[in-house]
Copies of this chain bind each other. A is one copy, B any other.
Amino acid sequence: MNIIVQKYGGSSVADANKIKNVANRIKKRVLQNYKLVVIVSAPGKTTDQLIKFAKEVSSNPEPREMDMLLATGEQMSVALLSMALKEINIKAKSFNAFQLNIQTTEHHTKARIKDIDEKIILKNLQEYDVIVVAGFQGINQHSDITTLGRGGSDTTAVAIAAKLKAPCEIYSDVDGIYTCDPRIHPNAKKHSYITYDDVLELASLGAKVLHSRAVELAKKYNITLLCASSFNESEGTMVVNNLPEWLEEPVVTGATITKNELKVTLLNLPKDQSIISKIFDEVSEKNLNVDMISIVSSNDKMFLSFSILEEQREDFEKVVQKALDDLKEWNLSYNGNFSKLSIVGIGMRTAPGVASRFFKALSKINIIPELVTTSEIKISALVPREKAEQALKEIITEFGL
């Protein structure tokens, strides 16, 4: 049995015509004698509409009920796509998380897949040509519905591909992975190949490429991912462990900006490593995104700076209050209107002078970064938001992206 796993994003199943288009694409593969497992997201803006409805009903919707609500979107899609497939004489059957026993951790709104019963899939593929699976959702040990976080359908797809040892194709409204956002920079170049590591860095920097957990799983189980468009036949990008040898490796493979960063500064902390642990323990427990951490210390005091997402400010403040409850004299300040500008590339590991070219490009438009962090394959800088787009253009020119 030749199995392919495919995933179609929300924009690919946004209305009846788009669903029929996806059904026809699937049919072509069935006629080539493949069996398909197809993972779908909720149609179009459905998830956003459901979140809006929830917020009208409750100022702070209970996560368990939020997952119960949001999981309906993907269930709609699987039913509708299965109908569309039957309409063109393809034997298809839909599955939700209960029916496929997609087991996850118990954390609502950000659960992780623990196991999927691939036997149910294999058994049904004997009778059906296409198994249509609701992405994004799972069941925890209490039989509660969980969800995997925005973009989680990618992870459902890769987890199933890993279980079935099948290739995985991720279809969306973008026809591959670009050096930078092609909607903003029309000269952006599409990668034919990119490594898991580069995609992970790009995703962690806010580029909406693939769900990070999906890429981690693909890397762990060595699943080749194809990212392509559901609306045309252009070639797409292969995400692989190592680039093919014939491919000349570029130094910098991508540049991104995120728009809603807040710089946080904690002054006058006592010089005590346990305080830092305490803060970051709380931060990780609440699943807050803290980034670009810089610590400076003098004789007996510490000064901490880092960036957080603006919308997490309130949660973050509680965390700090709790962690520093029994301390005095410390001082917390926020500094808004920043964007995080980053470049990524495996080539940076070996190519010298990348940081210097990065800062030179910024200085051309008089930007002195507020915070800087670097890793082996990435450099990020916090820059004033109103200059961020201009800065990105300089970077793109500098590195020929």
Contact = CB atoms under 8 A, between A and B. Distances in A.
Interface of A: 15-16, 19-20, 50, 53-54, 56-62, 64-66, 68-69, 71-73, 75-76, 78-80, 82-84, 86-87, 93-94, 96, 98-99, 143-145
Contact of A72 (B72, B98, B144): B72
A145 B96 CA distance: 10
Nearest to A84: B57
B99 A83 contact: no
Contacts of A73: 72
Interface of A is mostly: helix
12 contacts: A16-B53, A16-B56, A57-B83, A59-B87, A62-B83, A65-B83, A68-B75, A69-B83, A72-B75, A72-B79, A98-B98, A98-B143
Contacts of A69: 75-76, 79-80, 83
A82 B62 contact: yes
B72 A76 contact: yes
A75 B80 contact: no
A102 to B, nearest CB: 12
Contact of A79 (B59, B66, B75, B86): B66
Given A57-B87, A58-B84, A61-B83, 17 more contacts: A15-B56, A16-B53, A50-B76, A57-B80, A57-B84, A60-B87, A62-B86, A64-B93, A65-B86, A68-B75, A69-B75, A69-B79, A72-B73, A72-B76, A98-B98, A99-B143, A99-B144
Given A62-B86, A86-B65, A143-B98, A54 B80 contact: yes
Given A16-B53, A53-B16, A143-B99, A58 B83 contact: yes
A53 B73 CA distance: 13
> 6 closest pairs, A vs B, by CB?
A16-B56, A69-B79, A72-B72, A68-B79, A58-B83, A58-B87
Contacts of A57: 16, 19-20, 80, 83-84, 87
A71 B87 CA distance: 21
A64 B80 CA distance: 11
Contacts of A62: 82-83, 86
Contacts of A65: 79-80, 82-83, 86, 94
A65 B99 CA distance: 13
